[in-house]
Chains A and B, each alone.
Chain A
Amino acid sequence: MPIDVSVVRKIAALARLRIDPAEEERYARELDGILGFVEQLQALDVAGIEPTSQVTEGARPALRADEVCPFGARDEALEGAPERDGDYFKVPQVV
């Protein structure tokens, strides 16, 4: 499917990403070019091939014990917030 401006608007909304309307055309053109390039994968027969989501050398990702470990720098973490109310991150009203 060719990528046009309406597709760019739709995926930008999914990604919660505001795109300057003056740039929508350019993104559409660039994405269309990249997706045209990756089309080459369709030519490959991948029937019966397992997908690789993570290269872990056959080992399961190691799990650690589910124990509470105090982080110890709560104030430093909260200081990074654009808006804070006591020990909370503050956001615009949701409901």
Chain B
Amino acid sequence: MSAPLVLESAESLARAVTQGERSAADVTRAFLAQADRTAPKLGTYLHRLAESALRDAEAIDRRRAKGDPLGPLAGVPVAIKDNICVRGVPTTCGSKILEGYRPPYDAHVVERLRAADAVIVGKTNCDEFAMGSSTENSAYQVTHNPWNLDRVPGGSSGGSAATVAACEAPLSLGSDTGGSVRQPAAFCGVYGLKPTYGAVSRYGLVAFASSLDQIGPFARSARDTALIQGVICGRDARDTTSRADARPISLDALERDLAGFRLGVPRAILDEAGEGLAPSIRAAFESAISAYERAGAKIVDVSLPHSRYAIATYYLIAPAEASSNLARYDGVRYGVRRSDGDLRGMYEATRGAGFGREVKRRILLGTYALSAGYYDAYYLRAQKVRTLIRKDFLDALAVSDALLLPITPTPAFKLVEKTDDPLAMYLSDIFSIPASLAGVPALSFPASFDASGLPIGLQVVGRPFDEETILRVARAYEREHDAASRVPAIALAEAGDAR
């Protein structure tokens, strides 16, 4: 018996559609049916696009019938985090302040996906304005972890991670400012890539912290991650930080073995997490190091001495930039408005009613860090520490070809476990934030499972614009371990029913 269609890779689905073995409409229908059954239980979507997805798929089939060449993601369903603009489709960023907003344009990445003949199937739930580590800060709904519905999917791109884990879509996009793609990828047992800063245009991504924001993909294999990254990366004049250095990744190159490869291991960083580091994560990390040694890699001891300051640095820089970026939500051009006398009253009432607690907390923190008398002591100092953190990474990557780190200190935590303690929530970002500050590419890949069946991810960090190497490192692990091929019971049972 053949495997259910929804378990197939994006690569094989696109090939089947291109060769006419399957229609794009059939592929889309299968994933829509899977999401019909599982999405209500998981809370993955804020807005689904069943009708337009099917219409887009049928248009792809007609073009194929005419003999037109199809793109590399022909007929492949892709879900989009709700902070990325899709023209005419509600885009709320999980915030009440943008309720009813329909952007008049597609984000650059959405244009690229359409040009590659992908099918956009919906907008996924996320923490409000991408601020959070559990997706519990969404103003609309909770998202559940497909492996255990009592657990969080991670955040802020929790919906995008969970929808790929549950096989509601083979691919999705999220955004990563301090770990918002990599951490939920680890919690949901899928791949999550934060590309090099500048590799992917942010045109149409709602800005949070502009010196850190980067769009990145989720997938269920290293090759599929490479496939979609190749589609979305590249220069776009509408994002001045976007660079032409990012190139499509050769899938053949991912298959190269690791003989002679130098894998840098910054072991001291594990001690920074102290007792917060779960034994299951440490065990998975040590076991992966042994696996890489067996695969022919040479393990190189490296250190990232300033990464211990990364969380403090991040929680000054990101809120400072957010307080500036979120000034645009003023009740004038989009979203909701609350009137209260004069213009200033309208601003204050609109923002007071429209933003949730975490967003308000970060706006207050950022405003404070940028205010007269504190700028030098907080924001400027944090930017200097950032220079030191980045230099550590470049030094470590000068004596090694890639670095192996944990990505989360624990597997997925329980819903509501950390919502009352913002600092505890922030501390769970200890392994993801350093690479964000350094601007280097970083990939979270599924490594194993803990005793209770929760996924454990690990992180590979690479040199700027060398996404190919970190995907190759993850692919080498994938070939020898089955963590990536396992899917949660909710997806299997439902897929079985659909067969």
By a beta-carbon cutoff of 8 Å, the part of chain A in contact with chain B is 3, 7-8, 11-12, 14-20, 23, 27, 30-31, 33-35, 37-38, 40-42, 44, 46, 49-57, 59, 61-64, 71, 73, 76-77, 79-83, 89, 91-94
Contacts and interface: CB of A to CB of B under 8 A. Distances in A.
Given A80-B104, A82-B335, A82-B337, A54 B352 contact: no
B237 A64 contact: yes
A50 B104 contact: no
Give the most central of A18, A31, A77, A79: most B CB within 10 Å.
A18
Judged by DSSP, the binding face of A is loop
A15 B309 contact: no
A90 to B, nearest CB: 9
Give the most central of B100, B347, B465: most A CB within 10 Å.
B347
A52 B365 contact: no
Interface stretch (B16-24, B326-334, B397-405, B447-455): B326-334
B359 to A, nearest CB: 9
Contacts of A37: 311-312, 315, 423
Interface of B: 87-88, 100-105, 197-198, 211, 235, 237, 240-243, 245, 306, 309, 311-313, 315-316, 323, 327, 330-337, 339, 341-349, 351-353, 355, 357, 360-361, 363-365, 367-368, 371, 377-378, 380-388, 390, 422-423, 426, 438-439, 464-465
Nearest to B339: A92
B429 to A, nearest CB: 13
A27 B343 contact: no
Contact of B363 (A3, A17, A35, A57): A17
Contacts of B334: 80-82
B104 A41 contact: no
B456 to A, nearest CB: 27
B377 to A, nearest CB: 7
Question: Which 6 pairs of residues, A with B, have the shortest CB-CB distance?
Answer: A18-B352, A55-B439, A76-B104, A51-B383, A82-B337, A73-B104
B313 to A, nearest CB: 7
A68 B312 CA distance: 42
Contacts of B241: 54, 56, 61
A51 B384 contact: yes
Nearest to A7: B368
Given A11-B367, A15-B363, A91-B332, A38 B316 contact: yes
Contacts of B313: 41
A89 to B, nearest CB: 5
B283 to A, nearest CB: 29
B327 to A, nearest CB: 8
Contact of A42 (B211, B339, B377): B377
Contacts of B357: 23
Nearest to A81: B333
Contacts of A81: 332-334
Contacts of B387: 49-52
B494 to A, nearest CB: 37
A18 B312 contact: no
A81 B350 CA distance: 13
A76 B216 CA distance: 28
Given A11-B364, A46-B384, A34 B315 contact: yes
A57 B197 CA distance: 9
Contact of A16 (B330, B371, B390): B330
